[in-house]
Chains A and B, each alone.
Chain A
Amino acid sequence: MLILLGVAVIVAGFALRLNPLLVVVAAALTSGWFAGLSPLQVIAAFGKAFNENRYVSIAYLALPLVGVLERAGLRERAAAIIAGLKGVTAGRFLLSYMALRQVTAAVGLVAIAGQPQTVRPLIAPMAEAATEVHDGPPDLAARYAVRAMAAATDNVAVFFSEDVFIAMGSVLLMVGFLTSSAIVLDPIHISVWSIPTALAAFAIHGARLLLFDRRLARRLAPRTPGVIRP
């Protein structure tokens, strides 16, 4: 039971907003200690796993390219294009992005977009520009809300569509685990049964995006003198 204290350390550390890197190391030491490992053994195990998981950080290779394009005005150009469109809103724009992201992820092209490579240089500034076109200049809180929604939309779109592609890692993991439990099936069945969830995600998150537009519009509506607003 006491090995679960590592999880408690994580929960407490994140809730108190301590530095997560230290919290993670503390959690590893706690669970390892109660599992009978010495601190040196835990540190060695942690180091080994850190080294084996270096691929997790490969997406940052995109940072130099994203930075150079920002330096040359990419975010400003992307915002200008949105400003030239009629009827565009942050929610509708993010809804189109979501559709595109879901369709490409469903055919296995998850890596063509993502938080560092598309959301930061393109999607977030375009969504902010759309708000500005439709509702006037957003205050800082509204800007943060639009950016957070842009990042959330990318995550939601990928998570609920990637399993439609049969060669996706998670699909193969499921097939492998079921095989080891004496249930043999073709990955295509796993993929097919993830389609209803993908459609539901589009409907639910899409509806939230359209509601998000209305909230933004209400929040940023110009306060006409003489009209009393609640």
Chain B
Amino acid sequence: MIKLSAVYLLAGLMFAGFALFSAGDRANSKRFGNTAFWGLTALSFLAGDRLGDLGNGVLVLSLALLAGFGLLGRGQPATTTPDERMALAQRFGNRLFIPALMLPLVVALGVLVLKPIQFGGIALMDPKQATLISLAVAVIVGLVTALILLRQPPASPLQEGRRLADTIGWAVLLPQFLAALGAVFALAGVGAQIGHLVTTYLPVDTRFAAVTVYCVGMAAFTMLMGNAFAAFPVLTGGVAIPILVIHFGGNPAVIASIGMLSGFCGTLMTPLAANFNLVPPALLEIPDRYAVIKAQIPTALLMLIVNTVLMYVLAFQ
């Protein structure tokens, strides 16, 4: 059975490759900072389960210090020039899309067809991790296709991957840092404390006020925690179930469903949801770190109003 550990091994090897090629990149004056950063990331993926909790903690602290003290530069791997790319684009034409389409096709194939396959009672892949495993397989298939079909040099996956990873920089690991922060906040009881404040001090005596407190609360709490999944149990247990469902007799399916979607409005507006909001500006080379959040705020606020109204109208028929 293919498990998630195989995917981690692959990711570890990829980051180790970034680290090695960074070390030889004389165009980057901070190349050893990059080597250390990607090397520690590789270590985490390859040996994280053997480092112990404190060992992992020291590793994470080192990553934060490398980033915080500006020790990461931007590598300059040899790549094609804009003019060469125009010429290549004309030469290859639509063949360029074949490896690109391998990604969605193989992921869909993996999730829909390969996931249920079993050999003698043993599943081909860990069903809980089918999406991530399929993504890893899809990348390999796409890369092999690209290298053969487009005759790219064998070192290009690691060099080009390093180019993009350096473009994103330390923000590559921010989503994982924030996920870990969520766990520490849970341990410290931050969520429970905020939930207590919301349920104690906000008005929930009319149906409309209670719906508004729950929907806006889900969005606001998600903005603070960076994740609607962290906000959902606190506010649903604190407001939605006792007041909206039990007291006012609302439909729990409508309330839970639209409550979570109100939380997603908050996800669109917070820098703490880094993989959606802060990694893309880095990836798209937009100088304003908050450009994507700013583009999302009008949609998010309008959707929050829509969700509040929908819940009020649909939950109490």
A59–B280 CA distance with the chains assembled, in angstroms: 13
Asked if A109 and B236 sit within 8 Å, CB to CB, the answer is no
B165-200, CB < 8 A from A: 165, 170-185, 187-190, 193-194
Q: Name 18 A/B residue pairs within 8 A (Cβ), A-sorted.
A: A14-B272, A27-B181, A42-B184, A43-B54, A48-B57, A49-B182, A53-B176, A57-B175, A61-B139, A62-B135, A63-B161, A77-B93, A119-B284, A163-B257, A183-B245, A192-B253, A197-B303, A200-B306
Asked if A20 and B174 sit within 8 Å, CB to CB, the answer is yes
Listed in ascending order, the chain B residues whose CB lies under 8 Å from chain A are 4, 7-8, 10-11, 14, 44-45, 48-49, 51, 53-61, 63-65, 67-68, 70, 79-80, 84-94, 96-97, 99-100, 103-104, 107-108, 111, 129, 131-132, 134-136, 139, 142-143, 146-147, 150, 152, 156-165, 170-185, 187-190, 193-194, 224, 228-229, 232-233, 236-237, 241, 245, 251-254, 256-258, 260-261, 264, 267-268, 271-272, 274-281, 283-289, 291-292, 294-296, 298-299, 302-303, 306-307, 310, 314
B45 CB contacts on chain A under 8 angstroms:
54
Chain A positions 31 through 65: 1 when the CB is less than 8 Å from some CB of chain B, otherwise 0: 11011010010111111111111111111111111
Asked if B68 and A21 sit within 8 Å, CB to CB, the answer is yes
Asked if A49 and B291 sit within 8 Å, CB to CB, the answer is no
Which of A85-93, A130-138, A147-155, A218-226 lies on the face that meets chain B? A147-155
Give, as a whole number of angstroms, the nearest-CB distance from B214 to chain A. Answer: 14
Asked if A177 and B236 sit within 8 Å, CB to CB, the answer is yes
Q: Which among A21, A113, A122 has the greatest number of chain B C-beta atoms within 10 A?
A: A21
Asked if B272 and A10 sit within 8 Å, CB to CB, the answer is yes
Asked if B190 and A4 sit within 8 Å, CB to CB, the answer is yes
Asked if B306 and A197 sit within 8 Å, CB to CB, the answer is yes
B288 CB contacts on chain A under 8 angstroms:
144
Q: A65, A115, A177: which contacts B103 (Cβ < 8 A)?
A: A65
A12 CB contacts on chain B under 8 angstroms:
none
A76–B237 CA distance with the chains assembled, in angstroms: 51
Asked if B257 and A31 sit within 8 Å, CB to CB, the answer is no
A185–B48 CA distance with the chains assembled, in angstroms: 39
Asked if A190 and B64 sit within 8 Å, CB to CB, the answer is no
Give, as a whole number of angstroms, the nearest-CB distance from A220 to chain B. Answer: 18
Of all chain A residues, which has the CB nearest B278? A20
| Count of chain A residues near B, Cβ 8 A | 109
**A46-B57, A64-B161, A77-B93 as given contacts; A32 in contact with B256, CB under 8 Å:** no
**A4-B193, A69-B146, A122-B100 as given contacts; A22 in contact with B187, CB under 8 Å:** no
Give, as a whole number of angstroms, the nearest-CB distance from B271 to chain A. Answer: 5
Give, as a whole number of angstroms, the nearest-CB distance from B28 to chain A. Answer: 16
Q: Which among A24, A62, A70, A150 has the greatest number of chain B C-beta atoms within 10 A?
A: A24
Of all chain A residues, which has the CB nearest B17? A64
Asked if B180 and A50 sit within 8 Å, CB to CB, the answer is yes
Q: A51, A71, A75, A193: which contacts B152 (Cβ < 8 A)?
A: A71
Asked if A68 and B143 sit within 8 Å, CB to CB, the answer is yes
Of all chain B residues, which has the CB nearest A123? B284
B165 CB contacts on chain A under 8 angstroms:
60, 63
A173 interface residue per 8 A CB criterion: yes
A44–B60 CA distance with the chains assembled, in angstroms: 10
Give, as a whole number of angstroms, the nearest-CB distance from A92 to chain B. Answer: 17
**A32-B187, A62-B103 as given contacts; A163 in contact with B260, CB under 8 Å:** yes
Q: A6, A181, A208: which contacts B299 (Cβ < 8 A)?
A: A208
Asked if B193 and A50 sit within 8 Å, CB to CB, the answer is no
A111 interface residue per 8 A CB criterion: yes
Q: A61, A117, A190: which contacts B257 (Cβ < 8 A)?
A: A190
Q: A1, A61, A149: which contacts B295 (Cβ < 8 A)?
A: A149
A155–B270 CA distance with the chains assembled, in angstroms: 13
**A24-B177, A204-B299 as given contacts; A65 in contact with B163, CB under 8 Å:** no
A122 CB contacts on chain B under 8 angstroms:
100
Q: A54-B176, A68-B152, A148-B284 are in contact. List 17 more A-B contacts (CB 8 A).
A: A6-B190, A24-B181, A35-B188, A46-B183, A58-B135, A58-B136, A59-B135, A61-B14, A65-B143, A71-B79, A73-B84, A159-B264, A173-B232, A183-B241, A189-B257, A193-B257, A197-B258
A43–B171 CA distance with the chains assembled, in angstroms: 20
B152 CB contacts on chain A under 8 angstroms:
68, 71-72
5 tightest CB-CB pairs across the interface, nearest first? A67-B160, A47-B57, A47-B56, A73-B89, A49-B183
B283 CB contacts on chain A under 8 angstroms:
115-116, 119-120
